[in-house]
């Protein structure tokens, strides 16, 4: 068996550009092609790619314009000859003129020439549409009646890149050319390995020990590995985790990149959890109302508005997840103190009482509450102390920049600790 070294496709420039365009679109929800065209200078990589389309279009303009002008000239000359014959045959001049002016072919050729002649010298609608159409054909976007949305495939590309970046930060792994396995995480494995046996999966191979075995028997790795070289890690039992990500999309989350960071962290968590078939993830957004959505659909939710009903968001997750099997972990991401209950503004003190009561129900239901705060306001610190006094959950204060790292690191720590629980599923 040979081990092939390949360039990780997550590191390719093309993949990076695709992700950057999708990130641009995450920040502008409810967008249409026309909106994007008018606001194109507010974008990054999408603007650059549209500019490339514009440069290509403008470079082809002179030759295309010459072609249409020549076709129009030839057609009009032929029409003139035909008109002369019609006049000689006694037709009225007005009728001949009307026929020339209403001729469909002549009108289309003239319109095409004018379109090229008066094209803007900068990015316009057709350039943006061309870029977006390319992404639609790849399955990353849906475009319906001009409205652009990120698909599940596009969201998973974003999620994969976000998770890869966070894992590199956590593990301090260098980027560049490196060996890659198929992307995915299976069961936990032991720290020691044993000789390969027929039927073992190579996904659990101890690569370091295997390569050392090859070298120790005096063989060159490029000549290939033998079955006897392989060492295999033993899979170990893992506890199932049923997680919920609950993202505040109220108006305050739009500032300082907080909502974009929350979405990226949520997508990364989705991707990580998806690598263990036993684990599951539910996703919710909330302001004064709560909505459950597929985790990937968070990529289209970067819009804020309204007040903050944390109690309703917690209650919705608790009720929806009551039959989920496993260690239930709720990750609630917010930057604002609770102030609303069931659509009515009640103020911080009253709303916090409701949240504390709901947190007690979490504890009774065996749900671990992890509140991730993107602000250190006095009210939120008081909220954190209120939870801590009653041992109702954990509160982590972080920034938009470190949010993804905080969420993923906490999940990995929980996952590691969960496998040691004697009551594990």
Query: What average pLDDT does this structure show over 275-298?
Result: 93
Q: What is the pLDDT of residue 231?
A: 81
Q: What is the pTM of this model?
A: 0.69
Separation of alpha carbons 255 and 259, rounded Å: 8
Give the SS3 label for residue 135: helix
Separation of alpha carbons 185 and 190, rounded Å: 14
Q: Tell me the pLDDT band of 234, cut-offs 50, 70 and 90.
A: low
Q: What is the pLDDT of residue 180?
A: 31
Q: How many other β-carbons are positioned within 10 Å of the β-carbon of residue 307?
A: 20
* Residue 118: burial class (beta carbons within 10 Å; 0-12, 13-18, 19+): exposed
Q: In the structure encoding, which two tokens stand for residue 133, read together?
A: 């159409």
User: Rounded to the nearest 5°, which phi and psi values hold at 285?
Assistant: -120, 155
Give the SS3 label for residue 204: helix
Torsion of CA 122, 125, 126, 131, to 10 degrees: 90
Give per-residue pLDDT as tens, 99-120.
888 888 888 888 877 776 666 6
Query: What average pLDDT does this structure show over 221-236?
Result: 72
Give the SS3 label for residue 283: strand
* C-alpha triplet 312, 318, 321: angle, nearest 5°: 135
Query: What average pLDDT does this structure show over 81-103?
Result: 83
Give per-residue pLDDT as tens, 164-174.
888 888 765 44
Q: What is the pLDDT of residue 321?
A: 95
Handedness of CA 219, 222, 228, 232 (dihedral sign): positive
Give per-residue pLDDT as tens, 27-46.
776 688 998 988 888 888 99
Whether 197 shows a pLDDT value over 80: the answer reads no
Query: What average pLDDT does this structure show over 349-368?
Result: 92
Whether 26 shows a pLDDT value over 90: the answer reads no
Whether 88 shows a pLDDT value over 90: the answer reads no
* C-alpha triplet 303, 299, 320: angle, nearest 5°: 90
Total number of residues shown for the chain? 425
Whether 415 shows a pLDDT value over 70: the answer reads yes
Q: What is the pLDDT of residue 123?
A: 78
List, in sequence order, every beta strand (DSSP E) within 196-254.
231-236, 241-248
Whether 135 shows a pLDDT value over 90: the answer reads yes
Q: What is the pLDDT of residue 423?
A: 43
Calculate the average pLDDT of the chain. 82
Give per-residue pLDDT as tens, 292-351.
999 999 999 877 678 899 999 999 999 999 999 889 999 999 998 899 998 899 998 899
Q: What is the pLDDT of residue 14?
A: 66
Q: Return the top range by mean pLDDT from 12-21, 41-50, 230-239, 415-424.
A: 41-50
DSSP H helical ranges for 2-124: 13-26, 33-38, 45-88, 93-101, 104-117
Taken in order of first residue, the domains within the chain and their CATH numbers are 13-153 (no CATH), 188-236 (no CATH), 241-418 (3.40.50.410)
Query: What average pLDDT does this structure show over 205-213?
Result: 77
Whether 271 shows a pLDDT value over 90: the answer reads yes
Q: How many other β-carbons are positioned within 10 Å of the β-carbon of residue 234?
A: 14
């Amino acid at each position: 068996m040979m081990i092939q070294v390949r360039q990780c496709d997550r590191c390719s420039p093309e993949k990076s550009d695709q992700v950057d365009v999708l990130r641009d679109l995450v920040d502008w929800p409810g967008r249409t092609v026309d909106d994007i065209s008018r606001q194109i200078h507010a974008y990054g990589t999408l603007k650059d790619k549209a500019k490339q389309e514009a440069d290509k279009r403008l470079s082809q303009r002179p030759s295309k314009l010459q072609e249409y002008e020549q076709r129009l000239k030839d057609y009009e000359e032929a029409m003139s000859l035909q008109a002369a014959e019609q006049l000689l045959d006694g037709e009225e001049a007005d009728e001949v003129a009307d026929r020339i002016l209403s001729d469909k072919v002549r009108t289309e050729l003239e319109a095409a020439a004018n379109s090229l002649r008066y094209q803007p010298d900068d990015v316009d609608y057709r350039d943006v549409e061309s870029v977006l159409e390319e992404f639609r054909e790849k399955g990353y976007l849906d475009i319906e009646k001009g409205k652009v949305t990120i698909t599940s495939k596009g969201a998973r590309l974003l999620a994969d890149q976000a998770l890869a970046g966070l894992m590199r930060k956590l593990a301090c792994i260098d980027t560049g050319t490196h060996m890659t396995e198929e992307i995915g995480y299976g069961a936990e494995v032991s720290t020691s390995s044993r000789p390969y046996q027929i039927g073992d999966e190579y996904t659990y191979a101890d690569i370091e020990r295997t390569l050392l075995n090859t070298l120790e028997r005096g063989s060159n790795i490029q000549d290939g590995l033998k079955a006897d070289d392989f060492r295999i890690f033993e899979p170990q039992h893992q506890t199932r985790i049923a997680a919920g990500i609950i993202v505040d999309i109220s108006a305050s989350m739009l500032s300082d990149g907080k909502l974009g960071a929350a979405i990226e962290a949520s997508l990364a968590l989705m991707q990580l959890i998806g690598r263990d078939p036993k684990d599951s993830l539910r996703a919710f957004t909330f302001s004064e109302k709560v909505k459950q959505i597929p985790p990937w659909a968070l990529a289209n939710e970067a819009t804020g508005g309204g007040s903050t009903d944390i109690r309703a968001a917690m209650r919705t997750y608790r009720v929806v997840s009551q039959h989920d099997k496993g260690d239930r972990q709720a990750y609630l991401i917010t930057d604002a103190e609770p102030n609303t209950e069931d659509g009515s503004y009640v103020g911080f003190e009253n709303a916090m009482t409701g949240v504390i009561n709901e947190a007690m129900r979490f504890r009774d239901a065996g749900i671990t509450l992890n509140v991730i705060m993107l602000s250190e306001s006095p009210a939120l610190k008081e909220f954190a102390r209120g939870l801590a006094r009653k041992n109702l959950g954990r509160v982590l204060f972080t920034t938009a920049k470190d949010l993804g790292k905080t969420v993923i690191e906490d999940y990995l720590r929980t996952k590691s600790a969960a496998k040691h629980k004697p009551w594990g599923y």
